[in-house]
A and B are shown apart, each in its own frame.
Chain A
Amino acid sequence: MNLELMALWGAIGVYALAGSLAIGGVVLRRLPQRWVFSLIVLGLTLHGVSIGLRWERLGHGPFITMYEILSSNVWSLLAIFALACWRLPALRPAAAIVVPLLFVMMVWLVLQSPRAGHLPPTYNTAWLYIHVGFGKVFLGAVLIAVGLSGIVLARLTRHGAAWFATLPADRQLDELAYRFLALGLIFETAMLLTGAIWAQDAWGRYWAWDPLETWAFLTWLLLAFALHARSTLRPAPPVGAVLAIGVFVLAFLTFFGVPFVTTAPHQGAI
């Protein structure tokens, strides 16, 4: 096994340990927050080495194959979560929901072949990095909102209420989740804009309602709907939480499902 794959497996092991500690800590009500946070940072470092080595070897970023896309997204989503936890320590218990959620992507990642893909000529542009970067921040922001929403929903149960008893009230978690959804809307708007600029030069049109464009717009619309509904209908925190999770599910299916089940030229994901 080469260093690239060893670093990746090491990172996945550390992530698994961090997620298990986070879950155990919540259940036992003694959350080793510093350990979880430190393990996530260690995992990100190992994972970053793996991605960097591959980038150096292939001469292009992790944008082409499903392996690369899943790997870079696990890294970016956890990096955004770690950054948010660093700035907002109140978020740290959400690791018990966010990290296990990413286990799904990690399992999917290890099932993928790490073979190299072909870099299409139209990917040789700075817009790729800008477009993908905005997309990753969007998905990361929505993931954090999902972590907070998961806590709000978990508290509907007797066990969940006990596990997350020390956290701020539902209304405040709902407000924080709303703020991350708002951040997501800003970055998804920017992602669609930069994607359109790139598409104009890559395919000679800025928007053509291809499957990925259609579902990315529907995700934007659902996100805008969720934010509007919050100010118009004043839903209870659990309803807001369901909306946030709905946005994440749609975004996940859009970016990790649609490009790989269609034959449209719009391949690859954020």
Chain B
Amino acid sequence: MRTARIPLETKPWRGAAAQLGSPRLTLALMALLAVCVIAVSRDFGPPAWILATPLALLAVNLAGALSTQPAFRTHSALLLFHLALLAVVALAAAGRLTYLKGAVELSEGEEFGGVLTQRESGPLHGDVIERVAFTNLGFTVYYEPGMKRAQTRNRVAFVDSSGAHREAVIGDDTPLKLSGYRFYTTPNKGFAPDFVWAPALGGPPVRGTIHLPSFPAQLTRQEIEWTPPGAAQALLTRLEIEERIVDLEKSWLLRPPREHALIIAAGREHVVLRPGESHRFSEGTLHYAGLRLWMGYSVFCDWTLPWLLAACALAAGALGWHYVVRFRREPWQSADPGPLACP
């Protein structure tokens, strides 16, 4: 039995694909995407959700065009450019599902133990940050006249993937990369009084630091309320800097002041502590060991980064290739756009 062959152009799916891949629809969807981008800029909601609809529709439109538009069969660079755009959208979506963004503060000498103070992540982020460890070995931040922050250099120690102990210098634009996580220094940093707390009811003494507000951003508000481990009463701790460490006229280096005191208020009781001094409060004895610095780090993880870079580079390269081939073929003086030219 012989069956009639349906011409390709009359297959029903082909008609639907041609409609879905219509270049006029592309223009309408671009306009929709523009409206959604403006909505994102006006904080109408999470960018990922607002942009998902027009980008998905553009992806369907492109899929339809790829299967029906003859231009894509004859212009391989144009095809490559659009496929790379599709890959960018898919990778950006995958990145939003699996990313992590967070922050952590570490005093000098303190080790990061995998716990972030702030975090947001995609629903499919596979958390391995608990296994990431590094130590803040200390940092320098220079300021130029007029309180302009210059380079931050932070020495860190870590164990690399081969198990070797290593040190590196990181900064605002030079991250520490561990297990896919990137740790950057930030402008958020300050002074960290180092205490030893010995509970009055016995038990081992506890050593640790508290982080005063960011310096010099909060120059005049260097105080914080905190509660020692196991205690009920909060201690309001204020740093009194007794020397000039900030100079608006000259360059200066951020460092803990040598001349300083801590004013500690526990209820009505006020105590002045200098490095090496102790005081017995009702719930325990507080020993002030000295002043250190703390650094705030931003943490970022997105496995799609190198792939996104590759897809974007491919898109830009293919676009250039497409236009070079097209324009070399036809001098502009004799150019005729033709019945259905590609862009």
Contact = CB atoms under 8 A, between A and B. Distances in A.
A262 B161 CA distance: 42
Contacts of B309: 193, 197
A221 interface: yes
Q: Which of B40, B47, B315, B316 has the most CB of A within 10 A?
A: B316
A4 interface: no
A182 to B, nearest CB: 5
Interface stretch (B3-11, B23-31, B108-116, B205-213): B23-31
Given A211-B41, A227-B343, A232-B26, A202 B172 contact: yes
Interface stretch (A10-18, A101-109, A152-160, A172-180): A172-180
Interface stretch (B196-204, B260-268, B330-338): B330-338
B152 interface: yes
Interface in A181-230: 182-183, 185-186, 189-190, 192-193, 196-197, 200-202, 204-206, 209, 211, 214-215, 217-218, 221-222, 224-225, 227-230
Interface residues of B, number: 50
Nearest to A117: B148
Contacts of B101: 204-205
A89 to B, nearest CB: 12
B323 interface: yes
Nearest to B320: A186
A228 B27 contact: yes
B175 A190 contact: no
B316 A176 contact: no
B339 to A, nearest CB: 9
B81 to A, nearest CB: 9
A122 B40 CA distance: 26
B38 interface: yes
Interface string A93-126: 0000000000000000000000000101110110
17 contacts: A120-B149, A122-B173, A124-B151, A193-B309, A193-B312, A193-B313, A204-B175, A204-B299, A204-B300, A214-B37, A214-B41, A218-B34, A221-B37, A228-B26, A228-B27, A232-B24, A232-B26
